[in-house]
């Protein structure tokens, strides 16, 4: 018998109610899940259900990547791009998962030091409202300088998040690539660039006396000086996906990709 856990975000409305519904459904199928607060996660499980929005799932993904534990999202957020299951689908989804009708997809992650990101690293200056200068190196070779509000270094998973809003492309999760997107650059020649995921990205500030800020998945923030190195992590996020559900169908259904404007 597999060891299941349910991680949920107590700060999200209805999260506790959905947790109880999911717990009861699992218990009705002779599974006894352990209940976890998203802010106090534990290892030692074969499969983890995560209740919340994409932010909750990102936090769980970073934690459980180090243990190679599959996670499955039950969406309580607005978009829920990383989750497939709504509250109305809990019973059906549990039956499929317990019946083995799912696959686990490895999603590449970024790493800088001991910090992980499934979606992206974002680098900005600490002076709100002011642009900053960023020098970009790939494999320690200078590529370009940006005068911009910041730089997004995104995985394919994160290409549908902040990077897309900043004008970056959508990248299929099956591709081994990273996307570098400048935020509001002050030159028309500064455009997003896609690179192989085995290359090392260095962002230099050129100002050792000024602090810059980096964030992981928009959740963990820390300051640094001079430069930061970002590269492919040895860990991968394990996302459980139900059979018959693929990236392009999610892109179409949740982002309404290519849908014509409604006729008024």
What is the 8-class DSSP label of residue 59? H
Number of domains observed in the structure of the chain: 2
Does the residue 156 lie in any domain? Answer: yes
Are the beta carbons of 104 and 240 closer than 8 angstroms? Answer: yes
**Residue 159, burial from CB neighbour count under 10 angstroms (0-12, 13-18, 19+):** buried
Q: Which residues contact 79 (CB under 8 A, 6 or more apart)?
A: 53, 54, 254, 255
Q: The domain containing residue 25 runs over which residues?
A: 4-100
The answer to whether residues 91 and 182 belong to one domain is no
Average of per-residue pLDDT across 127-140: 84
The answer to whether residues 83 and 178 belong to one domain is no
Tokens describing residue 94:
């549990």
Does the residue 238 lie in any domain? Answer: no
Residue 153 has pLDDT above 60, yes or no: yes
pLDDT at site 239: 95
Choose between 128 and 242: higher pLDDT.
242
Does the residue 251 lie in any domain? Answer: no
> pLDDT confidence of 244, banded at 50, 70, 90?
confident
pLDDT digits (tens, 9 = 90+) for 51-80: 998 899 999 999 999 999 999 999 886 666
Does the residue 260 lie in any domain? Answer: no
Does the residue 192 lie in any domain? Answer: yes
Residue 225 has pLDDT above 90, yes or no: no
Does the residue 264 lie in any domain? Answer: no
Catalytic annotation on 88?
no
Does the residue 242 lie in any domain? Answer: no
The answer to whether residues 39 and 130 belong to one domain is no
pLDDT digits (tens, 9 = 90+) for 97-131: 999 999 999 999 999 999 999 999 999 987 666 78
Tokens describing residue 72:
């499955």
Choose between 259 and 148: higher pLDDT.
148
In CATH, what number is assigned to the domain containing residue 208?
A: 2.60.200.30
In CATH, what number is assigned to the domain containing residue 59?
A: 3.40.50.10330
Tokens describing residue 183:
């935020």
Strand partners, 60: none
The answer to whether residues 83 and 116 belong to one domain is no
The answer to whether residues 59 and 127 belong to one domain is no
Nearest to 50 by CA among 78, 90, 79, 88: 90
pLDDT at site 78: 66
The answer to whether residues 122 and 173 belong to one domain is yes
Domain final residue, candidates 65, 100, 135: 100
Choose between 131 and 221: higher pLDDT.
221
Does the residue 257 lie in any domain? Answer: no
Strand partners, 224: 212
Catalytic: which of 17, 24, 43, 54? 54
pLDDT digits (tens, 9 = 90+) for 14-47: 899 999 999 999 999 999 999 999 999 999 999 9
Average of per-residue pLDDT across 197-207: 89
Average of per-residue pLDDT across 147-165: 94
Choose between 25 and 253: higher pLDDT.
25
Residue 259 has pLDDT above 70, yes or no: no
Average pLDDT, the chain: 89
Residue 261 has pLDDT above 70, yes or no: no
The answer to whether residues 32 and 120 belong to one domain is no
Residue 264 has pLDDT above 60, yes or no: no
The Cα 32–Cα 258 span in angstroms is 43
The answer to whether residues 87 and 119 belong to one domain is no
Residue 53 phi/psi, 5-degree rounding, is -90, -170
Are the beta carbons of 146 and 182 closer than 8 angstroms? Answer: yes
The answer to whether residues 159 and 222 belong to one domain is yes
> pLDDT confidence of 163, banded at 50, 70, 90?
very high
């Amino acid at each position: 018998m597999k060891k299941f856990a349910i991680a949920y975000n107590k700060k999200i409305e209805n999260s506790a109610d959905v947790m109880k519904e999911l717990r009861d459904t699992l218990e009705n199928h002779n599974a006894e899940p352990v209940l976890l607060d998203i802010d106090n996660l534990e290892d030692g499980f074969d499969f983890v259900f995560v209740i919340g929005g994409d932010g909750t799932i990102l936090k769980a993904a970073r934690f459980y990547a180090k243990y190679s534990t599959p996670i499955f999202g039950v969406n309580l957020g607005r978009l829920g791009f990383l989750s497939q299951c709504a509250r109305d689908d809990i019973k059906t989804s549990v039956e499929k998962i317990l019946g083995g009708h799912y696959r686990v997809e490895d999603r590449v992650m970024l790493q800088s030091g001991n910090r992980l990101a499934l979606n992206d690293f974002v680098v900005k200056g600490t002076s709100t409202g002011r642009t900053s200068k960023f020098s970009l190196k790939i494999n320690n070779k200078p590529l370009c300088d940006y005068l911009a509000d910041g730089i997004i270094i995104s995985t394919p998973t994160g290409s549908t998040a902040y990077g897309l809003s900043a004008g970056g492309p959508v990248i299929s999760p099956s591709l081994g690539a990273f996307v570098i997107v400048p935020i509001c650059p002050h030159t028309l020649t500064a455009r997003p660039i896609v690179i192989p995921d085995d290359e090392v990205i260095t962002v230099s500030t050129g100002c050792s006396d000024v602090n810059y800020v980096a964030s992981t998945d928009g959740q963990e923030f820390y300051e640094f000086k001079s430069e930061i190195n970002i590269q492919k992590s040895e860990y991968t996020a394990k996302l459980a996906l139900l059979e018959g559900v693929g990236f392009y169908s999610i892109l179409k259904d949740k982002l309404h990709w290519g849908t014509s404007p409604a006729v008024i």
